[in-house]
């Protein structure tokens, strides 16, 4: 009985209903695309795409905001992809190659979608347009070779194999650079980050200098009023440190990074990581109390050749509450070692072909650093300044059995929020509930999730629902300042009874309707 399921879902989620705009035909915008990209990335059906997939959505339809995206009679959707048939059968006479079959099987297993049943109209839904385009890109990779790392190379790859009419060479490149500028924009946010930089002999001086220039560019995404940034350089041993707790302004920090001496010897990644852990220990206790994320990013071009294994220091970092992230440069570093450095979190493992492409691919770290959630405690209060419209802040909270109340006070401008228990990033495109100024009660995590597509997806792609709620705050005006208080239980003035009443009324209406129909 679908009605009963609906009521069940309503009761579980309180008076809110889950929203997933990636499954709404004709939906568009940055949040929609980011949700699709993140979900497909996390499903691990496809290998890493060097940000090509997202850039294609921006090039083809401006994330669907171009009014021609959903023109009459065209079903390509946000990715403007109209070759659905070729993603279902890739040979003549309805033949499906084993490679494509295994992609279909992975999609079925992790997303619960039978790709052979998908119709062209389905591609009006952003998630389906994205998935079709992503299959096509993977087919291209298998038949034509890997996706280039650099934007110029990607432009040619796109024109040759993805977009074959209307737009011209250079269109992708121009759009991708726009997106890169936006992603590298200073966005503020509370974070403590230590970059751990390999200075071994295999790199060479000019590459080392170019890496430092990329790092100097990366740190510019932070506002040093809110973030602490340090750097450890190592080779045989640690050779230079820019302390995490420092008094440098942005100009000085960037100069210190650029002027770092090239040590040019062995690769003792363990020593570099241990020195970074020591830097985190020097932070004032208050920052840890507030749950400000601690991120260690290790840039390396090769396997360690001085023991112990960097995996040992990664575990020590994790024990100290530090998130480790690895960035491999070139092809003499094994994925295994990068994965050990990232504590087996493949979401925190990146790589790029060379020091030349690092300049552009560093954006992956920028995007990750901006979305690492703060983990404030129950009963705490936090304050944020958001400079631009659309700036966001992320949080992860462990929710007690009686739920939690979020009190949002807009001191200046306007900030709102979204929350979800699923393992996705909440945004206007995907949420279980919204957070507006004043009090918002978030019920305790559901034991069982509601039916249908949502449940299937949640069980398939993401890990099972957790006790942690993910919250995103988003600014709707320039220069907003907001305070967020977090309390255990329902402390809203209207009280806890509201949800029960809603459920009771709905259940009564349903019973009544069903009896009428009989
Ligand atoms: C940083 O400090 C230096 C020295 O005090 C000063 O010359 C420079 O203008 C400052 N830069 C910024 C961006 O505030
Ligand atoms: C990472 O995975 C490897 C191999 O599966 C395992 O031996 C190791 O203990 C894991 N490390 C962590 C920190 O989970
Ligand atoms: C909610 O539960 C916590 C313990 O988990 C308790 O400290 C708090 O007082 C409760 N709040 C309400 C409003 O019931």
Q: What is the pLDDT of residues 276-292, one digit of tens each?
A: 999 999 999 889 888 99
DSSP state of 241: E
Query: Looking at 112-220, which runs of residues are DSSP E strands?
Result: 191-198
* Mean pLDDT of the region 324-349: 92
What are the C-alpha distances in Å from 183 to residues 79, 220, 391?
A: 20, 11, 11
- Which residue's C-alpha comes closest to atom 2 of ligand 1? 249
Name every protein residue with a CB atom under 6 angstroms from any ligand 1 atom.
Answer: 249-252
Cα-Cα-Cα-Cα torsion 298, 299, 303, 309, nearest 10 degrees, comes to -10
Residues 10/17, Cβ–Cβ less than 8 Å: yes
User: Which of 343-352, 377-386, 490-499 is the least confident region?
Assistant: 490-499
Confidence of residue 347 (pLDDT cuts 50, 70, 90): confident
Mutate to test the pocket of ligand 1, among 249, 253, 256 (most ligand atoms within 8 A of CB): 249
What is the predicted pLDDT for the residue at 6?
44
Closest C-alpha among 489, 193, 463, 239 to residue 348: 193
Starting from the edge strand earliest in sequence, which strands make up the sheet with 468-475, in order?
392-398, 468-475, 415-420, 433-435
- Which residue's C-alpha comes closest to atom 1 of ligand 1? 249
Closest C-alpha among 488, 385, 470, 388 to residue 432: 470
Percent of the chain whose pLDDT exceeds 70: 88
Q: Give residue 488 CA to ligand 3 midpoint distance, Å.
A: 5
Strand, coil or helix: 419: strand
pLDDT exceeds cutoff 80 at 300: yes
What is the predicted pLDDT for the residue at 448?
47
Distance CA 372, CA 503 (A): 36
- Nearest-atom number in ligand 1 for the CA of 249 is 1
What is the CB neighbour count within 10 angstroms for residue 68? 9
Distance CA 274, CA 314 (A): 9
Q: Give residue 212 CA to ligand 1 midpoint distance, Å.
A: 20
Distance CA 70, CA 416 (A): 29
Phi, psi of 303 (to 5 degrees): -60, 150
**Ligand 2 in reach of 343 Cβ (< 6 A):** yes
The pair of structure tokens assigned to 175 is 């759009």
Q: What is the pLDDT of residues 215-238, one digit of tens each?
A: 999 999 999 999 999 999 999 999
* Mean pLDDT of the region 141-148: 96
pLDDT exceeds cutoff 70 at 464: no
Residues 445/469, Cβ–Cβ less than 8 Å: yes
Q: Give residue 311 CA to ligand 2 midpoint distance, Å.
A: 9
- Which residue's C-alpha comes closest to atom 12 of ligand 2? 343
Residues 383/376, Cβ–Cβ less than 8 Å: no
Distance CA 289, CA 48 (A): 35
Residue 71: is the preceding peptide bond cis (ω within 30°)? no
Ligand with an atom nearest the CA of residue 400: 3
Non-local (6+) Cβ contacts of 98 within 8 A are none
Beta bridge partners of 433: 419
pLDDT exceeds cutoff 80 at 322: yes
Mutate to test the pocket of ligand 3, among 377, 400, 494 (most ligand atoms within 8 A of CB): 400
Non-local (6+) Cβ contacts of 203 within 8 A are 211, 262, 264, 301, 355
Q: What is the pLDDT of residues 422-457, one digit of tens each?
A: 989 999 999 999 999 999 999 998 764 444 444 444
Ligand with an atom nearest the CA of residue 335: 2
Q: Give residue 477 CA to ligand 1 midpoint distance, Å.
A: 29
Q: What is the pLDDT of residues 77-110, one digit of tens each?
A: 999 999 999 999 988 888 899 999 999 999 999 9
Distance CA 501, CA 507 (A): 10
Ligand with an atom nearest the CA of residue 253: 1
Confidence of residue 262 (pLDDT cuts 50, 70, 90): very high
Strand, coil or helix: 296: strand
pLDDT exceeds cutoff 70 at 504: no
Percent of the chain whose pLDDT exceeds 90: 80
What is the predicted pLDDT for the residue at 288?
85
DSSP state of 112: -
What is the predicted pLDDT for the residue at 93?
80
pLDDT exceeds cutoff 60 at 499: no
**Ligand 3 in reach of 495 Cβ (< 6 A):** no
Q: Give residue 489 CA to ligand 3 midpoint distance, Å.
A: 5
DSSP state of 450: -
Distance CA 350, CA 335 (A): 9
pLDDT exceeds cutoff 90 at 341: yes
Distance CA 344, CA 321 (A): 15
pLDDT exceeds cutoff 80 at 515: no
Residues 480/412, Cβ–Cβ less than 8 Å: yes
DSSP state of 346: G
Q: Give residue 512 CA to ligand 3 midpoint distance, Å.
A: 36
In degrees, rounded to 5, the angle at the alpha carbon of residue 66 between the alpha carbons of residues 64 and 69 is 60
Beta bridge partners of 374: 395
pLDDT exceeds cutoff 50 at 417: yes
Q: What is the pLDDT of residues 175-188, one digit of tens each?
A: 999 999 999 999 88
User: Which of 106-120, 159-173, 460-474 is the least confident region?
Assistant: 460-474
Mutate to test the pocket of ligand 2, among 309, 310, 319, 340 (most ligand atoms within 8 A of CB): 340
Distance CA 147, CA 353 (A): 11
């Amino acid at each position: 009985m679908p009605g009963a399921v609906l009521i069940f879902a309503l009761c579980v989620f309180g008076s809110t209903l889950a929203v997933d705009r990636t499954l709404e035909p004709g939906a568009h915008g940055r949040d929609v695309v980011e949700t699709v990209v993140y979900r497909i990335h996390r499903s691990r059906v496809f290998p890493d795409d060097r940000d090509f997939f997202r850039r294609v959505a921006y090039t083809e339809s401006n994330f669907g905001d171009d009014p021609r995206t959903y023109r009459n009679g065209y079903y390509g959707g946000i990715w403007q992809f109209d070759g659905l048939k070729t993603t279902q059968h890739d040979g003549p006479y309805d033949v499906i190659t084993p490679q494509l079959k295994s992609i279909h099987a992975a999609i079925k297993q992790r997303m619960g979608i039978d790709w052979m049943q998908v119709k062209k109209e389905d591609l009006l839904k952003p998630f389906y347009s994205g998935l079709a385009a992503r299959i096509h890109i993977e087919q291209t990779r298998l038949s034509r070779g890997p996706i280039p790392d650099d934007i110029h190379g990607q432009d040619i790859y796109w024109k040759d194999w993805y977009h074959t009419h209307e737009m011209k060479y250079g269109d992708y490149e121009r759009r991708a650079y726009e997106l890169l500028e936006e992603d590298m924009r200073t966005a503020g946010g509370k974070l403590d980050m230590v970059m751990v930089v390999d200075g071994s002999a295999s790199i060479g001086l000019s590459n080392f200098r170019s890496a430092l220039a990329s790092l100097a560019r990366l740190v510019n995404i932070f506002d040093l009023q809110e973030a602490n940034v340090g750097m450890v350089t190592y080779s045989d041993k640690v050779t230079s440190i820019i302390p995490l707790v420092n008094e440098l302004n942005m100009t000085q920090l960037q100069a210190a990074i650029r002027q770092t001496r090239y040590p040019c010897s062995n690769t003792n990644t363990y020593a570099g990581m241990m020195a970074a852990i020591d830097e985190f220990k020097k932070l004032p206790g208050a920052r840890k109390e507030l749950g400000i994320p601690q991120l260690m990013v290790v840039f390396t071009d090769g396997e360690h050749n001085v023991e112990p294994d960097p995996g040992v220091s990664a575990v020590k970092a994790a024990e100290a509450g530090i998130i480790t992230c690895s960035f491999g440069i070139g092809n003499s570093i094994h994925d295994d070692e990068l994965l050990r450095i990232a504590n087996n979190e493949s979401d925190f493992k990146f790589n790029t072909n060379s020091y030349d492409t690092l300049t552009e691919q560093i954006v992956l770290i920028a995007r990750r650093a901006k979305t690492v959630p703060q983990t404030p405690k129950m009963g705490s209060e936090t304050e944020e300044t958001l400079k631009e419209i659309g700036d966001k802040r992320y949080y992860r909270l462990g929710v007690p059995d009686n739920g939690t109340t979020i009190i949002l006070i807009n001191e200046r401008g306007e900030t709102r929020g979204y929350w979800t228990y699923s393992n996705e990033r909440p945004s206007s495109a995907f949420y279980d509930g919204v957070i507006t100024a004043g009090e918002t009660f978030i019920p305790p995590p559901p034991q069982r999730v509601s039916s249908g597509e949502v449940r299937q997806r949640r069980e398939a792609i993401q890990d099972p629902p957790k006790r942690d709620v993910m919250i995103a705050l988003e600014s709707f005006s320039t220069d907003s300042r907001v305070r967020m208080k977090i309390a255990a239980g329902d402390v809203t003035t209207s009280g806890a009874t509201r949800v029960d009443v809603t459920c009771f009324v709905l259940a009564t209406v349903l019973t009544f309707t069903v009896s009428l129909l009989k």
